[in-house]
Structure 1
Amino acid sequence: MITKETLKTLVEEWLAKGDYFLVDIQMDGGDDRIVIEIDHADGVWIEDCAELSRFLQEKLGEELGDYELEVGSAGLGQPFKVAQQYVNHVGDNIEVIDATGKKMTGVLKSVDGRQFVMTTQEKQIPEGKKRPVKVDVDKTFSMDEVKSTKYLLTFK
């Protein structure tokens, strides 16, 4: 029987050849289905997914025959699952749902360990003025405490 740890070890062996990184491995025992998600700062090529799939088939042989194997990239609009995804999107627009369920959008400014900073705009009334103006505000979050963070695809 194939374990998640065995898959992780083999995937990381293949990933060591380039700048790809592992996002997730899902094993659904009921469906005998294995889903492996990888990512790269410049995106994932279908050829690389096929190459990883062939690599796993060679290494696992007949053991893999009982499973449906799916290798792909982390979805563009899907929530981030690993810290490297945050690093890859510094400078990009993101959407954060905080621990209370509040949704915010802004620019991912920086990442430090498991913390990240997003610059968002808030309306504030400057001293001595009557009308509010939008100002940039930096908000710091812990990756472990937000409900989700995802890349916001914008069309300009």
Structure 2
Amino acid sequence: MLKEKVESLLSKALEERPSLFLIDFTVGGDNTIKVVLDGDKGVSLQDCMDVSRAIEHNLDREEEDFSLEVASAGAASPMRLPRQYAKNIGRQLKVHTNGHELEGTLVETSENSITLEWKAREPKPNGKGKVTVQKKQEIAFSDIQEAKVILKF
């Protein structure tokens, strides 16, 4: 009952804020409601407060006791939805696929994949030594086991 009610309120709140989208939503056995959001342009504290209010102000604490937490997907959190990649174009990613790990700059996203670019040192085709080459690889979303933005300080 509580979960369905919160789901409905959450859907309505997100409809009014089309740049935001849901990453995770759970209601624990102790009525702990957790909502994790992301946004095409990021998520502000105000966004979290607005969504929290939209849910909380429409639930009756007399009817059911609950706790509510609305948060943004952390910068170091793995990306879960294809929609999250678009706002990270130009940033460095670490991508785990079936048995491989790639690091590179996210240069493009499409409906089904992302494209990474990076520089690599490879043996020269002729003679001794190495040469720096520009590499580029398209990776299907279905092959991505985990992808994170590499934060640089």
Q: Aligning the two structures, in what range does the TM-score lie when normalised by the shorter sequence?
A: 0.7 to 0.9
TM-score by length of 2: 0.85
Change (3 A) 1:111 1:52: same
Shift, 1:123, TM fit: 2.2
Which structure 1 segments of 5+ residues have no match? none
Q: Deviations over 1:87-133 (max 9, x none)?
A: 11111111111121x32211011111131111123222232231122
Distance in 1, matches of 2:144 and 2:38, equals 21
Say which is worse superposed, 59-68 or 109-118, in terms of deviation. Answer: 59-68
The answer to whether the 8 Å contact 1:57/1:64 transfers is no
Look up the equivalent residue of 1:33 and give its one-letter code.
T
Distance in 2, matches of 1:44 and 1:131, equals 48
3-state SS in 2 of match to 1:59 = coil
TM-score by length of 1: 0.84
3-state SS in 1 of match to 2:57 = helix
Which structure 2 segments of 5+ residues have no match? none
Distance in 2, matches of 1:104 and 1:48, equals 33
Do structure 1's residue 83 and structure 2's residue 90 form an aligned pair?
Answer: no
For these two proteins, the number of residue pairs brought into alignment is 152
1:69 corresponds in structure 2 to 68
Percent of aligned pairs sharing the same letter: 26
Distance in 2, matches of 1:113 and 1:64, equals 43
Look up the equivalent residue of 2:48 and give its one-letter code.
C
3-state SS in 2 of match to 1:49 = helix
3-state SS in 2 of match to 1:113 = coil
Shift, 1:63, TM fit: 8.1
Q: Deviations over 1:10-47 (max 9, x none)?
A: 32321233322222213333x43221111223332212
Backbone CA RMSD of aligned residues = 2.1
